[in-house]
Amino acid sequence: MTGADASGLPGEARDSVPRHVAIIMDGNGRWARQRNQPRHAGHRAGVESVRRVIEVCGEQGVEILTLFAFSSENWQRPRTEVNLLMELFMMALGREARKLQRNNVRLRVIGETTAFPEKLQQRIREAEQLTASNDGLLLQIAANYGGRWDIARAARRLAEAVAAGRLQPEQIDEERFAEATAFAGVPDPDLFIRTGGELRISNFLLWQCAYSELYFTPVLWPDFGRAEFIEALRDYARRERRFGRTSEQVDLAG
Ligand code: IPE
Ligand code: IPE
Ligand code: MG
């Protein structure tokens, strides 16, 4: 290995920067509990981690960042926590949209957003419109998202196209299916990170993570800083992605 450059990544690792990073931001509640604070203090602290990873993505040349902010199962939490998460989302969108705009970040919210309060939906539309023509980092926030919801909706969309005579069943292949999901036109995640120590996918990306490199860390989301993210990127750079081939074939294609 050559020495790390100022960016913190070893020189030869820079070709191995993932194009698309997806993160399950978990552990806010435990972070707060460790400090004898209410769970919402953890969610607030988590917003700071979001800012940091967006910054590092920009510096390292990651093109797409997908963050799991609220799952389709999170409605089952106490009403007060759900309301607080909605408020936090509102505030963060209001406060950060201009900053994203200045930093050439394009924001997209994926998930069943029609279930959100109308004011929040409006703010999402505004932030998406404000940043729509940016061509830097694509930031996708998965909110009221579920992997199974995405797959079921894709199946329904295709079935509707068949019923309307616009599509033949035999035209449905993996490519066309992928285009019917919320990730149409976006490459699959290369690196899939979960903070907070749980070793599960919790209904995040199911179709799209078929060949993602998985990275689990016990670090709680509010503690996931620049150094922890760089470490995940380094770990990714050391992986050999074979996609079913042999190591020798990968070396030859090198
Ligand atoms: C993740 O942190 C944030 C959301 C799910 C919105 P948690 O709130 O799940 O934190 P833990 O897992 O209880 O520590
Ligand atoms: C997954 O975290 C959802 C988000 C991070 C938004 P959870 O904390 O809700 O996951 P489970 O239910 O413990 O698996
Ligand atoms: Mg959790």
Q: Where are the chain's structural domains?
A: 14-144+189-239
**Which residue CA neighbors atom 9 of ligand 2 most closely?**
74
Ligand 1 atom nearest residue 198's Cα: 12
Give the per-residue SS3 of the chain: CCCECCCCCEHHHHHHCCCEEEEECCCHHHHHHHCCCCHHHHHHHHHHHHHHHHHHHHHHCCCEEEEEEEECCHHHCCHHHHHHHHHHHHHHHHHHHHHHHHCCCEEEEECCHHHCCHHHHHHHHHHHHHHCCCCCCEEEEEEEECHHHHHHHHHHHHHHHHHCCCCCHHHCCHHHHHHCCCCCCCCCCCEEEECCCCCCCCCCCCCCCCCCEEEECCCCHHHCCHHHHHHHHHHHHCCCCCCCCCHHHHHHHC
> How many C-beta neighbours within 10 Å does residue 22 have?
25
pLDDT tens per residue, range 64-107: 999 999 999 999 999 999 999 999 999 999 999 999 999 999 99
Ligand 1 pocket member 222 (CB < 6 A): no
Q: Are 151 and 206 in contact (CB under 8 A)?
A: yes
| Ligand 2 centroid distance, CA of 2 (Å) | 38
What's CA 187's distance to the chain center, in Å?
12
217-244 mean pLDDT: 97
Pocket test for ligand 2, best of 25, 68, 70, 71 (most atoms within 8 A of CB): 71
Check pLDDT > 90 for residue 1.
no
27-50 mean pLDDT: 98
Q: Are 104 and 135 in contact (CB under 8 A)?
A: yes
**What are the residue numbers of the active site?**
26, 74
| Ligand 2 centroid distance, CA of 78 (Å) | 14
pLDDT of residue 155: 98
Which pTM was predicted?
A: 0.94
Check pLDDT > 50 for residue 9.
yes
| Ligand 2 centroid distance, CA of 200 (Å) | 9
| Ligand 3 centroid distance, CA of 38 (Å) | 14
Residue type present at position 168: Q
Whether domain 14-144+189-239 has CATH 3.30.70.360: no
> Residue 109: beta bridge partners?
141
Q: Are 65 and 137 in contact (CB under 8 A)?
A: yes
| Residues within a 6 A CB radius of ligand 2 | 24-26, 68-71, 73-74, 198, 200, 202
